[in-house]
Amino acid sequence: MKVKRPVTTTCWKVDSTRPDPEIISGAGLILCRGGLVAFPTETVYGLGANAMNADAVRKIFAAKGRPVDNPLIVHLATSQQVETVARLIMPYARDLMKAFWPGPLTLVLPGKGVLPREVTAGLDTLAVRVPDHQVARDLIQAAGVPVAAPSANTSGRPSPTTAEHVLADLDGLIDGLLDAGPAGLGVESTVLDATGEIPLILRPGGVTPEQIKSVAGAVKLDSGVNGDNENNTSRPRSPGMKYRHYSPITPLVLVEGEEQQVSAALKKLAWEYGEKGYCVGVLCTKEVASDFNNIPGNSKIIVELGDALDIHNVAFNLYGALRDLDASQADIILAQGIDNRELGLAVMNRLRRAAEKIVVV
């Protein structure tokens, strides 16, 4: 289906630490008046709208093709502003804010009911965070309102880590884009349900379970975190988790398990697909990339995620690599599972949710 491209998207290049105040105030005004502006954060690029304006928020869903029952994260310029939108904040949630805001932690809190239902998809909770990016915070400050912002991608596509990714999906569908170079982490914030006695991770992300536990004393993982929500008929706690996400259009097979066995199984699968005449795309760490040098067939595409021990680099490269493989000739993507610890939990969560098939070895 051809998507209508009704608006001209203005792209402003800005410095990531000292953005031009005139550009920021112009973009803030567009947001305040109900327009859509994409902006960098320390995780991925977000697509912002005035969170107090239902019409503006509806435009986000239209531009992304996002299901309306999937609520948005409200972005604030400072931690103090949380009182204006949240009704009740547990002591441990306050400790987490002190420790990790600004930063890649989204807290789900009881709402005050001041936001239009489009933002929260009718839930009585709301998701809120203070991004750790100068451009994001200056923009929210300039807009003078809380800013609702999902990742700035077409729904179901990998989140954008560069301005080019945003334009590839949303050029002509949004009013503006602040380009401050690549986003920091490369994976999204951790979404943490902070409404109960013990905090519950709904989506792993930039702040790890270990970090949360060290401040809150305890933490639980929602059963959907390891990708087993798909066939679950019960209502997921985080509505976004029920959709197949971050998915390349090319089918992706994820191989996970013990390190040595994973690389052997990947190589075997690459052989089998190569022999069948497939153009094989492999998504792997630097350490195993050379294993694919002599698989049959000429057409193979190896995209490296970087050094397996540098999990930050792997996370940073993940979405760009998925987009590159998707745009390539590959008929099938074979992805190497990595260590599930720390930021690896977020990477594996995204890979599992992108996968059409998971092979455990």
The footprint of ligand TXA (CB under 6 A) covers 41, 43-44, 46, 70-73, 104, 106, 108, 120, 123, 125-127, 131, 149-151, 188-189, 191, 202-203, 238-241
**Contact partner at residue 9 from ligand TXA, Mg ion, none, CB < 5 to 8 Å by partner kind:** none
Q: Least separation, in Å, of the C-beta of 249 and ligand TXA? A: 19
Which parts of the chain are beta strand (E)?
10-13, 37-39, 46-50, 73-75, 105-110, 125-129, 147-148, 176-179, 190-193, 200-203, 220-221, 252-256, 280-284, 300-304, 332-336, 357-360
Q: Which does 108 bind (CB under 5 to 8 A by kind): ligand TXA, Mg ion, none?
A: ligand TXA
Q: Can you tell me the distance from the alpha carbon of 219 to that of 198, in angstroms, rounded to the nearest whole number?
A: 6
Residue 151 sits in the site that holds Mg ion (CB under 5 A): yes
At closest approach, how far in Å is the CB of 87 from ligand TXA? 13
Q: Which does 89 bind (CB under 5 to 8 A by kind): ligand TXA, Mg ion, none?
A: none
Phi, psi of 78 (to 5 degrees): -140, 155
Report how far apart, in Å, the C-alpha atoms of 247 and of each of 118, 186, 201, 302, 355 are. 25, 16, 22, 18, 7
What DSSP state is assigned to residue 189?
P
Q: Which is nearer to ligand TXA, 152 or 255 (CB)?
A: 152
The nearer residue to ligand TXA, 93 or 269, going by C-beta atoms, is: 93
- Beta-sheet strand order (sheet of 300-304): 300-304, 280-284, 332-336, 252-256, 357-360
**In the complex, least distance from residue 112 CB atom to ligand TXA, rounded to whole angstroms:** 13
Nearer to ligand TXA, 126 or 262 (CB): 126
CA 239, 243, 247, 249 dihedral sign is negative
CB of 242 to Mg ion, least distance (A): 13
d(CA 37, CA 319): 21
When the beta carbons of 267 and 353 are compared against Mg ion, the nearer one is 353
| Closest-approach residue to ligand TXA (CB) | 240
Q: CB under 5 to 8 A by kind: which of Mg ion, ligand TXA, none does 123 bind?
A: ligand TXA
Handedness of CA 156, 158, 160, 162 (dihedral sign): negative
Q: From ligand TXA, Mg ion, none, which one binds at residue 195 (CB under 5 to 8 Å depending on kind)?
A: none
> At its nearest, how many Å lie between Mg ion and the CB of residue 352?
15
C-alpha distances out from residue 131 to 87, 141, 188, 190, 206, Å: 21, 12, 11, 12, 11
Q: Is 125 in the site for Mg ion (CB under 5 A)?
A: no
113's CB contacts (< 8 A; 6+ apart) are 87, 124
Q: How far is the CB of 82 from ligand TXA (least distance, A)?
A: 14
Least separation in angstroms between CB 233 and ligand TXA: 18
Binding segment toward Mg ion, per CB under 5 A, in 71-79, 133-141, 151-159, 191-199: 151-159
Residues at the interface with Mg ion (CB under 5 A): 151
